[in-house]
């Protein structure tokens, strides 16, 4: 395990739009609009969620922390807003929007030239209470990776019955 490093965090965050575009960009709707289980998300939903998080979570919350104003409380984040916000859009549009938004978010993050002291500044999460900027940025990285894993699981489960006895060796199908 390694200690938090902003530059290394940015390395992952920069890759996410290209990673998800590479994984999903040329797939048919059968792959991208299908949910692996009832009440789960499709790949389309995941990309909509990434976009909503770019708009309402990472940078807006970081700005609240950095301002250190009287009210350091974060607005609650609607983890399901993408279902409404993505209506009428195509996956290609969502992938393009995400690819345009992420570099702008990272440009803002880099422009702050954050110090170790700033990374320890705190905001107030509606559920967890006090959280540091370092924790927020770390969560951003792990959030990206969590959804990349989720996308792989959703796609793999399309063939969960078709692989036959190999299921025993395919841990992704047990997720």
Q: Is residue 28 part of a domain?
A: yes
Query: pTM value?
Result: 0.94
Per-position pLDDT tens, the chain of length 175: 679 999 999 999 999 999 999 999 999 999 999 877 777 899 999 999 999 999 999 999 999 999 998 889 999 999 989 989 999 999 999 999 999 999 999 999 999 999 999 999 999 999 999 999 999 999 999 999 999 999 999 999 999 999 999 999 999 998 7
For the stretch 32-37, contacts whose Cβ atoms lie closer than 8 Å and that sit 24 or more positions apart, written own/partner, are 32/91, 33/91, 34/154, 34/158, 35/154, 36/153, 36/154, 36/157, 36/158, 37/157
Q: Is residue 1 part of a domain?
A: no
Q: Is residue 128 part of a domain?
A: yes
Q: Is residue 58 part of a domain?
A: yes
Q: Is residue 61 part of a domain?
A: yes
Q: What phi, psi does 78 have (nearest 5°)?
A: -85, 100
Q: Is residue 141 part of a domain?
A: yes
Report the C-alpha gap between 15 and 42 in whole angstroms: 21
Distances (CA, A) of 158 to 32, 42, 91, 92, 135: 11, 11, 18, 21, 35
Residue 66's pLDDT is what?
96
Residue 64 in tokens:
């609240």
Number of Cβ within a 10 Å radius of residue 136: 22
Q: Is residue 127 part of a domain?
A: yes
At residue 163, the 3 state secondary structure works out as coil
Residue range of the domain that includes 30: 6-174
Residue 98's pLDDT is what?
98
Q: Are 86 and 48 in contact (CB under 8 A)?
A: yes
- Tell me, what CATH number does 61's domain have? 1.20.120.450
Provide the number of structural domains found in the chain.
1
């Amino acid at each position: 395990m390694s200690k938090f490093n902003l530059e290394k965090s940015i390395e992952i965050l920069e890759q996410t739009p290209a990673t998800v575009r590479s994984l999903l960009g040329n797939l048919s709707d059968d792959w991208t609009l299908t949910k692996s289980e009832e009440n789960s998300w499709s790949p389309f939903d995941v990309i909509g969620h990434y976009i909503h998080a770019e708009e309402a979570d990472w940078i807006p919350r970081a700005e609240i922390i950095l301002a250190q104003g009287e009210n350091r409380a974060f607005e609650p984040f609607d983890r399901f807003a993408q279902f409404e916000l993505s209506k009428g859009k195509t996956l290609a549009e969502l992938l393009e929007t995400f690819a345009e938004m992420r570099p702008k978010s990272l440009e803002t993050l880099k422009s702050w030239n954050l110090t170790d002291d700033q990374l320890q500044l705190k905001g107030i999460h509606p559920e967890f209470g006090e959280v540091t900027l370092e924790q927020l940025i770390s969560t951003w990285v792990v959030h990206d990776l969590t959804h990349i894993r989720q996308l792989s699981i959703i796609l793999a489960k399309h063939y969960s019955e078709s692989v036959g006895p190999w299921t025993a060796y395919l841990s992704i199908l047990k997720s």
